[in-house]
Chain A
């Protein structure tokens, strides 16, 4: 088994259950392998959070690490970094019965169907809609001042990709866009099992987004020979 060029994972490991951005990519080869850790050197790459489903134990430490930094709890009006309800994390661990855990995080899709779905007119200067990608970090952002809270971005993400972003129940404005923690991903740092990595991937091709339910079904078929989950086929 040789380590592929420029990556953390061997091809075989990848085939067994490594997905990019909570599964925006690829499982078991059958969905096509596009932008994995074995990027050819010299090609345009970006760094993102990659999940190894085989190593994930569903402990949700990543959620707590994320919300601790990106949405810290305020107690008595005072923000307390390091504390946060995992529900508000930008990474969401979906758990199923039989046991499969699928951490889901923005895949930073090259073609941003979420941003394309935003009905707000692009800004004359920046060309940005109310949902847009930051060209330096490739992370997704919401311009809350122009956002009308229609939920189209989240809908597009849910139907075409990971479904990780969701409209705030009150304002309708999207939440849970991964910030990459300014280049120091806390989820990767805190995962006790090394299931998350912050690695370079290629994004020269279209991502085939998969929601956590589809990934879970695939993993369960592979591990347990069944894909019967409650409410998930």
Chain B
């Protein structure tokens, strides 16, 4: 134990090759500097992968589940777990290292992170590779690795139930992969509670490469706090900032789905493979329609007063139970982006993607690309194994989803992601292969939104819509995702002061605004150092040509298109303000020194 308040001071390391596990102390200095979650995960990755070019799918690549200092305490919305590993998806334009790729992190809500802390750890680190498909069970200090062969190929919804039945104790919190992860589809997700996911960036693929089907954890312990009285006072303030507010109620009412119509009206939605920013039929798949026709209940993650998760049921040909959605990302990527406006069909696609353990965003993006290539005659029906992949076709979309997860026929190509797919198809299709560094863009379109374009190109894991539209936002979010708190409640300004108070009371480290952002900046810079070491340069911070050439033809932002010169100027300013070299993007000595990263 480090004796550092607010932390256990140790992680649990499980080596699937040897079948052994051990606890490893974390240096108190690392906890002060990198906090937890995304930040601590990045530091652990940096320490463990000492050289560039290590294959993300090799046993050496650690797969890490890192909660934060809020996790395991009754802090509002302290539900998040950050999954950190080396990306199996991204790649630089050129690099001397064969398997060069970025860091990747994926932040998941639910109940898993708090349970890790109840079990007595500040994080789980899985290394090695099991000989056969296996699962890990963690019950406080007891760790066992068990045979999972009988679950091979099982879809996540069925597995969610079967696994708890096998464990015989519903107190276990579980994460698992589906057939996609087992089949090493690069953009596989890790699923939790059947409807929550660590979706982006391929963490499910890394899990599959370790022959790891699932992890179950339960614990009877409790992390402490540095200043008990201060913690309790700040906790009351944090609750008051959110409980029963109009802000919280609006999340319970529609979750992120509200933006499906909102962003379409604003001309910032991904529509028709990013060709347009407005979907004329958005209202059919938006929050109002879902509230009216689909949703029956609202659900919350651990200690969260927002309840943005929805569940419901649909009828008809595509009918069935809906675990979640439409959310903004899922509803747009499988809806607007594919011109699908049939609500039950959309929800069937979303359900199947989670069930197979694929990333919703990359899957929707890849299918949108194929639809466009098909429409343009670059590929024919034979290429698509007979699937008539027309805009708006639910059946064709469902068929493609199955093929991708099974790597069957055209699915094996599509599984490689939009960058590789367009390279295979050629004929200028790269122009509308919508990715950055190999990771597909998300549901926010950018012809009329240059700041969001900055988020996509400069984010550490490839095209990430969450990273932030400017330096301050990027730093702040890197830090937020290191605390274990969800970022949705933090848009409420009244939460800011109690949130910082709580963090200080828990850790005994004073996090005023400037210190909070500085920690985020440090984390973001370490990610950059990792990516730079792998060989990523300015040329990799690049958008597909579509965004500079195809102006929107409809909607509020009709005529909008990005300007190359303005875009490059923005980037130059960005690197300079970051203290990075404007040609290579290498973080400068002065900046590293300022952040305490000079000797790392």
Contact = CB atoms under 8 A, between A and B. Distances in A.
Interface of A: 54, 57-61, 64-65, 68, 73, 75-76, 80-85, 87-88, 94-95, 97-99, 101, 190, 192-193, 223-226, 229-231
B111 A76 contact: no
A73 B300 contact: no
* 7 A-B pairs with least C-beta separation: A230-B161, A192-B305, A64-B74, A75-B224, A59-B300, A73-B222, A57-B300
Given A80-B228, A223-B311, 17 more contacts: A58-B299, A59-B303, A59-B307, A61-B74, A68-B74, A82-B235, A83-B73, A83-B74, A84-B222, A85-B221, A87-B171, A99-B309, A190-B239, A192-B76, A224-B313, A229-B161, A230-B162
A225 B313 contact: yes
18 contacts: A57-B304, A59-B301, A59-B303, A60-B302, A68-B74, A73-B222, A80-B225, A82-B231, A83-B222, A87-B118, A95-B193, A99-B297, A192-B239, A192-B248, A192-B300, A192-B304, A226-B321, A230-B161
Contacts of A58: 299-300
A30 B252 CA distance: 30
A87 B172 CA distance: 11
A82 B239 CA distance: 13
Interface of A is mostly: loop
Contacts of B303: 59-61, 64
Contacts of A229: 161
B170 A223 contact: no
A68 B73 CA distance: 10
A193 B228 contact: no
B220 A82 contact: no
B133 to A, nearest CB: 20
B113 to A, nearest CB: 13
B276 interface: no
A83 B297 CA distance: 29
B231 A97 contact: no
Contacts of B219: 85
Nearest to B77: A59
Contacts of A223: 296-297, 311, 313
B122 to A, nearest CB: 15
Nearest to A231: B165
Interface of B: 72-74, 76, 111, 118, 157, 160-165, 170-171, 193-195, 218-222, 224-225, 228, 231-232, 235, 239, 242-244, 248, 252, 296-305, 307, 309, 311-313, 321, 323
Given A59-B300, A80-B228, A99 B195 contact: yes
B210 to A, nearest CB: 25
A98 B297 CA distance: 11
B298 A85 contact: no
A73 B232 CA distance: 14
A231 B161 CA distance: 7
B193 A75 contact: no
A87 to B, nearest CB: 6
B73 A60 contact: no
Contacts, number: 114
B242 A192 contact: yes
Contacts of A192: 76, 239, 242-244, 248, 300, 304-305
Contact of B193 (A87, A94, A97): A97
A97 B243 CA distance: 27
A84 B225 CA distance: 12
Contact of B118 (A54, A76, A85, A193): A85
A80 to B, nearest CB: 5
B307 A193 contact: yes
Nearest to A92: B171
Contacts of A87: 118, 171, 218, 220
A230 B300 CA distance: 21
B499 to A, nearest CB: 16
B160 to A, nearest CB: 5
Given A97-B161, A225-B313, A230-B164, A83 B225 contact: yes
Nearest to A59: B300
A81 B232 CA distance: 9
Given A83-B73, A83-B224, A192-B242, A95 B305 contact: no
A60 B118 contact: no
A98 to B, nearest CB: 5
A76 B224 contact: yes
A84 B239 CA distance: 17
Contacts of B248: 192
Nearest to A193: B307
Contact of B323 (A65, A73, A94, A98): A98
A95 B193 CA distance: 9
Contacts of B235: 82
A88 B244 CA distance: 27
A231 B159 CA distance: 12
Contacts of B74: 61, 64-65, 68, 82-83
A6 B307 CA distance: 31
Contact of B298 (A57, A60, A61): A57
Given A190-B239, A226-B321, A231-B161, A99 B232 contact: no
B222 A60 contact: no
A193 B297 CA distance: 12
Nearest to B306: A192
B299 A230 contact: no
A80 B243 CA distance: 24
* Most chain A CB neighbours (cut-off 10 Å) among B163, B218, B313: B313
Contacts of B239: 190, 192
B119 to A, nearest CB: 10
A101 B309 CA distance: 13
B228 A98 contact: no
Nearest to B222: A73
A83 B229 CA distance: 11
A224 B321 contact: yes
B343 to A, nearest CB: 16
B492 to A, nearest CB: 13
A95 B157 contact: no
Nearest to A190: B239
A98 B165 contact: no
B292 to A, nearest CB: 16
A156 B568 CA distance: 73
Contact of B194 (A68, A97, A224): A97
A85 B220 contact: yes
B128 to A, nearest CB: 29
A67 to B, nearest CB: 9
A193 B245 CA distance: 11
Contacts of B304: 57, 59, 192
A73 B220 CA distance: 10
Contacts of B296: 223-224
A229 B526 CA distance: 44
Contact of B111 (A60, A81, A82, A225): A60
A200 to B, nearest CB: 24
A95 B222 contact: no
Contact of A99 (B72, B224, B323): B323
A59 B76 CA distance: 10
A98 B222 contact: no
A94 B73 contact: no
Contacts of B170: 94-95
B160 A97 contact: yes
Nearest to A229: B161
A65 B303 CA distance: 10
A61 B299 CA distance: 13
